[in-house]
Structure formats: C-alpha cells, structure tokens
C-alpha cells in the first residue's frame, strides 16, 4: 500500500510466477530494484495442483520432453537387437516409475525457483491476485488475511490454461487436460486425445510410444498455423507407428460406464453418422485460454481483445495503462513459447530499469513440436511465404533423407524430410526452414541463428556439413520443388 508520502511498496510487482514472470523479477532484482512476485495456481477441474514455475516447468515443456524421451527410449530398445544387444522383447513400461521420476524433477525445479527468488531478495506471495486500482492488487493469504500490494510498475505474466469444451456433456466431469496428464499416479490406459494442436500430437505421441492404445480425434487440420505439408507428414508418421486417427470427427457426449470406462459419442462430419467408443481416459487438447478472468483488469483500465480475452500491448509490451505491462501467453498476437516470454521479460525490465531501448523481435522465432518424429521450424511456412511474396517470388528447396542410425535398425524413414523456403531472387534470402527428423530441436536451434542474421541460400550452400549427421542435410539442399526432380537423398 501507499504510505502518506505516496510511496509504493515495490518498484516492480510481477503477477504470475511462470517463465516470463520469474525472468522479469530476477532481472529487476539484479538491477537493484525492490521486487515482488504473486503467483497462485487454481487447481484443475480434476484437482491437479502444482508449485512455482508456471506451465512450462509443471505441466508443459519439461514433463512433456521427459515423457517424450521415455517413448524414444522404447524405440531404441526395439532397435537394440539389430546393433548386437540381446534384449528380450517386449520390454514392459512402468508408468508409475516414470511419472514419479518426472514429478520429482519438477518438484526440484519448483524448489529451485523459490530459492532463487529468496537469494535475490524478491518477495514471493502465494496468493490469487486481482487489481484494486492501476497501482494496487489484493489477494487473500492462506489464513484468510487480505494482502494489499502496490507498485510503480506492474507486469502481468499469468499465461494460459487448457480450454474445456463445456458445451459437451461430461467433458468437465470425466475429461482431463495437459494440466493433469503429467501428474497421474496411474497409467491413463486406453486414451482418446481430442484435438490436433501440438499439445494433442505430443501427448498422443508419447502415450503411443510407451505402449498405450491411443487415438486422436481431429475435427479439421493438424497443427494449425504450422506448415501444412510438414504437419501432414507428422500425422502420416504417427499413423504408421501405431497412433489411431479419427478424422473429421467431433465429440458430442462423454459418459461413465458402470465398469469405470468412458463411453464417448461423436459425429463423423463426412458421413453425418454418430459413432461411439470406450476409453479409459479422455484428454482434451483443443487450445488454451488466457488466465485473465479473475484479475479484475477493468479496475486497472487494462484493455483486452473482445474475441480472445488476451491483453492488448504495443511493441514495448505496454498495455492501455502506461505503467502496466504484459508478456507471454497472456498477450494477444504473441507466440505461446517459454523462451519468447523470458526474453521479452528481460528486455522489458532492462528498458524500465537498465537504460536500454532494445525491443523484443518476434520474427524468426524457432520452435519444435516434440512428436515421435520431431518437427522443428523457424521463419515462414511455405503457405505464409507464398501469401506474403507471391508464388512466383518463392523458391523451395527440399529433400527426403535417411538418418544413418535408421539403416542398421531397419527403421522407416519415409517422413524424414527437410525444406528451405527462400526468396527466388538471388542471393535467395532464407525465409523459413522446416526439418522433420530425429533431434529436430537441436538442428533447428543452430540454423535459427543464421536465419536471424539474414542468411541466404547461397551462404547455406557454402556451409560445410558435419558428417554423418541429419543436420548436414540442410546444407546439401540442391533440388527445388519447381524442378519436379526426385528429392530423395541416397547418402554417401
């Protein structure tokens, strides 16, 4: 609260203790400012709760990548006999053991964040905050005591939560989301994943990979917003490796049967017919909504999008109220990615307290979808490049390739593919890179630097590859889609 002299409690108050919020708080503390973080996790409809660190640490990137790794190990165990290892097949997977190990790691990260805030003398409040006015938030502590906190600058970094299809009977009562899957004590068993977002595909991918009967129900296109050729190949690979797909279908009802199983009713849009199936678990992965509802933003005068309820900001991350800022997934038109929230937060704090004028650049942000065959990309999709520059001004170089590790193992490499989207005019500026294959994140991260620096196709072709790697396929792209030639790489 303000004292009589008009002093406020803090130089900076951060609402939200996820990746972006914590990055802001730590950066401001390092610059000698008095900082507080308020964070509160509303339990999921199924009662799942977690600690400090936000979506990425608790119910996103970290547990997802670890469970993806568990699934990849299953594939390597199947490869092992071809490399001379005598492994009795099949090897059973223990969900409980994996989940406990993953959850323990996440809890260690929660603790680490608490310690880091303490070390930097950042005050942490585990309260559900809402605005009282444009400089003040209030919340209720565990004992029921109301706490008022005021600050010169406020950063909103509350992120988002999974969307529930509340219009579907039984969706809320019987379904789970990514907020729950990583914290299940017992195996989810036979699972229906509804949606075709990256969350849907990643979860279905690792569930299939650890040996569970998994079906994806998708109403329309997969990976909306991503390159659609690459997205189709991701789906093809998953379908040929055990994940079932119900395409053009939308669920209408979920009921619990006397034996505890869930009966799902859906409609097939192509035939117009209704169908049913039984599953142990139904996982909704149909998008996310910003966590703004309980903030009372109108009390502070902060404008949100009427369509998405996300917060509107300018290029400096400032909201409609000059000293209130917002970063990360809660903001309209920003990539929903941990590293962008972290970088945007740090740059914002450096502008506020460090004399900097550097703005966050949201172009050419790399990302990877951790499906069984990983898809990494940076820059424009082929569709975006054509829409922006016109078909006649775009050149696409591409290749199918076979990772060396797949040869001895006898693995199918039909979907291992790379393409580079360029301007046709020399020196052919690289507009986008798309890589489908093992370790796509590692490959894409390296090339992202070159593309950020304005690399041309000519420069990429003059880069010497590291042999034998999948990454080198990028610097060997000689065949243009326009040529109509077979883009299959035979190796050396």
DSSP assignment letter at 100: H
Any binding-site annotation on 99?
no
The catalytic residue among 93, 153, 393, 467 is 467
Burial of 24 (C-beta count, 10 Å sphere; 0-12/13-18/19+)? buried
Look-up of token digits 């400032």: 318
Q: Is 202 assigned to a binding site?
A: yes
Question: CA-to-CA distance for 278 and 256, rounded, in angstroms?
Answer: 9
Question: What is the C-alpha to C-alpha distance for residues 431 and 422, in angstroms, rounded to an integer?
Answer: 5
195 in a known ligand binding site: yes
313 is in an annotated binding site: no
Torsions phi, psi for 287 (to 5 deg): 115, 180
Walk across the sheet containing 249-256 and list its strands. Answer: 249-256, 262-268, 274-279
> Hey, what are 244's tokens?
């079932």
Annotated binding residue 198? yes
Nearest to 209 by CA among 335, 374, 336: 374
The response to whether 376 counts as a known ligand-binding position is no
Task: Consult the annotation and say whether 392 binds a ligand.
Answer: no
329 is in an annotated binding site: yes
The reply to whether 252 sits in an annotated binding site is: no
| Residue 464 CA: distances (Å) to CA of 402, 416, 461 | 19, 21, 8
Q: Are 437 and 470 in contact (CB under 8 A)?
A: yes
For residues 454 and 430, what is the distance between their CA atoms, to the nearest angstrom? 7
The CB-based long-range contact list for 485-491 (8 Å cut-off, 24+ gap) reads 487/398, 487/399, 487/400, 488/399, 488/400, 488/401, 489/399, 489/400, 489/401, 489/402, 491/401, 491/402, 491/404
Q: Is 237 part of the annotated catalytic residue set? A: no
Could you tell me which residues are annotated as the binding site for FAD?
Answer: 65, 329
Could you tell me which residues are annotated as the binding site for NAD(+)?
Answer: 195-202, 287
Positions marked active-site: 467
Could you tell me which residues are annotated as the binding site?
Answer: 65, 195-202, 287, 329
């Amino acid at each position: 609260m303000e004292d009589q002299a008009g002093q406020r409690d803090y130089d900076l108050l951060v609402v939200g203790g996820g990746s972006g919020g914590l990055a802001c708080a730590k950066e401001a503390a390092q610059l000698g400012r008095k900082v507080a973080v308020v964070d509160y996790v509303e339990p999921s409809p199924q009662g799942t709760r977690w600690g400090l660190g936000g979506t990425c640490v608790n119910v996103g990137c970290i547990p997802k990548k670890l469970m993806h790794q568990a699934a990849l190990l299953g594939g390597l165990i199947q490869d092992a006999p071809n490399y001379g290892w005598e492994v009795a097949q099949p090897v059973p997977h223990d969900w409980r053991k994996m989940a406990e190990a993953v959850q323990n790691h996440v809890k260690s990260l929660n603790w680490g964040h608490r310690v880091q805030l303490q070390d930097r003398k950042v005050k942490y409040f585990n309260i559900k905050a809402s605005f009282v006015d444009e400089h003040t938030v209030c919340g209720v502590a565990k004992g029921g005591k109301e706490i008022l906190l005021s600050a010169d600058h406020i950063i909103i970094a509350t992120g988002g939560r999974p969307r529930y299809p509340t219009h579907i009977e039984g969706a809320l009562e019987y379904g789970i989301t990514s907020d729950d899957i990583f914290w299940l004590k017992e195996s989810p068993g036979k699972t229906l994943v509804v949606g075709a977002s990256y969350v849907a595909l990643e979860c279905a991918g690792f569930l299939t990979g650890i040996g569970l009967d998994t079906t994806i129900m998708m109403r329309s296109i997969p990976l909306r917003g991503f390159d659609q050729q690459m997205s189709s190949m991701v789906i093809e690979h998953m379908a040929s490796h055990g994940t079932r797909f119900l395409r053009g279908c939308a669920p209408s009802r979920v009921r619990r049967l006397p034996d505890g199983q869930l009966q799902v009713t859906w409609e097939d849009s192509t035939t117009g017919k209704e169908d049913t199936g039984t599953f142990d678990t139904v996982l909704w992965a149909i998008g996310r909504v910003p966590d703004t509802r309980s903030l009372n933003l109108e009390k502070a005068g902060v404008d949100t999008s009427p369509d998405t309820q996300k917060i509107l900001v300018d290029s400096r991350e400032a909201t409609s109220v000059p000293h209130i800022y917002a970063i990360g997934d809660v903001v309209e038109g920003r990539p929903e990615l941990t590293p962008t929230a972290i970088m945007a937060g740090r740059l914002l704090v450096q502008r506020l307290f460090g004399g900097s004028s550097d703005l966050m650049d949201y172009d050419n942000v790399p990302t990877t979808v951790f499906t069984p065959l990983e898809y990494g990309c940076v820059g424009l999709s082929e569709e975006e490049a054509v829409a922006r520059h016109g078909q006649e001004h775009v050149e696409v170089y591409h290749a199918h390739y076979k990772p060396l590790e797949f040869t001895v193992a006898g693995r199918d490499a039909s979907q291992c593919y790379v393409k580079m989207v360029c301007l046709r005019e020399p020196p052919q500026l690289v507009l986008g890179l798309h890589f489908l294959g093992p370790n796509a994140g590692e490959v894409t991260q390296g090339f992202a630097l070159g593309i950020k620096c304005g690399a041309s196709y000519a420069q990429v072709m003059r880069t010497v590859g590291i042999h034998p790697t999948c990454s080198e396929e990028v610097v060997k792209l000689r065949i243009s889609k326009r040529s109509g030639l077979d883009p299959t790489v035979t190796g050396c």
